[in-house]
Amino acid sequence: MALRINDIAPDFEADTTEGPIRFHDWIGDGYAVLFSHPKDFTPVCTTELGLMAGLAPDFAKRNAKIIGISVDPVESHHKWKTDIQVATGQSVGYPMIGDTDLTVAKLYDMLPASIEGTSEGRTPADNATVRTVFIIGPDKRIKLSLTYPMTTGRNFDEILRALDSIQLTAKHQVATPANWKQGEDVIVTAAVSDEDATQRFGSFERVLPYLRTTKQPG
């Protein structure tokens, strides 16, 4: 069954480049970004893993841990990390999950549960759908999932932007409009009355009967 927004993110135990983990315990009381790859030593993914290494402090500021997964053994991941540093100048310090038996890929509906066997002998094309980013909240529920084709490198600035929105809207009864960025006006949700909006936000602008905007809450 497909995973949807607000579903509980499947828990699992796995070996990683930073040692064994139980996923929900590893997440702890913050957010997590799980991003997946179809195979080690693939060109687009090499650039992505390096970029994420450089962005690690930005995610940490948002109380978000990052973790990669590739359908290959942990030993292969360690070798790949050398290539990533050569190509991008970044050292991967976050964990990378080994998924040789395809368990996590199947749990997260990135590969059909009916697939048998291990990662051995499988090509990137066989695993092409293992290209999803998941943002998972402190409640262990999926807040976002975004899947890219193998030929299109992911925009992790967008993942950061979406994480900012998710965290802001979880704290305040607001939503964020298209292309919203930190510091820009937000939308007052329908659950908030005009009177309550004034009390909460000080003022708001009625753009349409169903669309009210206000300054981003602090």
Condensed to tens digits (0 to 9), the pLDDT of residues 54-75 reads 999 999 999 999 999 999 999 9
Mean pLDDT over all residues of the chain? 97
- Residues marked as catalytic: 45
Q: For residues 206 and 212, is the Cβ–Cβ distance under 8 A?
A: yes
Question: What's the whole-number mean pLDDT along residues 18-43?
Answer: 98
* pLDDT at 140 > cutoff 60: yes
96-98 sheet: strands from edge to edge: 96-98, 64-70, 31-37, 132-136, 142-147
Question: What's the whole-number mean pLDDT along residues 84-106?
Answer: 97
For 49, 105, 149, the CA distances from 102, given in Å and listed in that order, are 20, 5, 19
pLDDT band at 1 (very low <50, low <70, confident <90, very high): low
Question: What's the whole-number mean pLDDT along residues 193-203?
Answer: 96
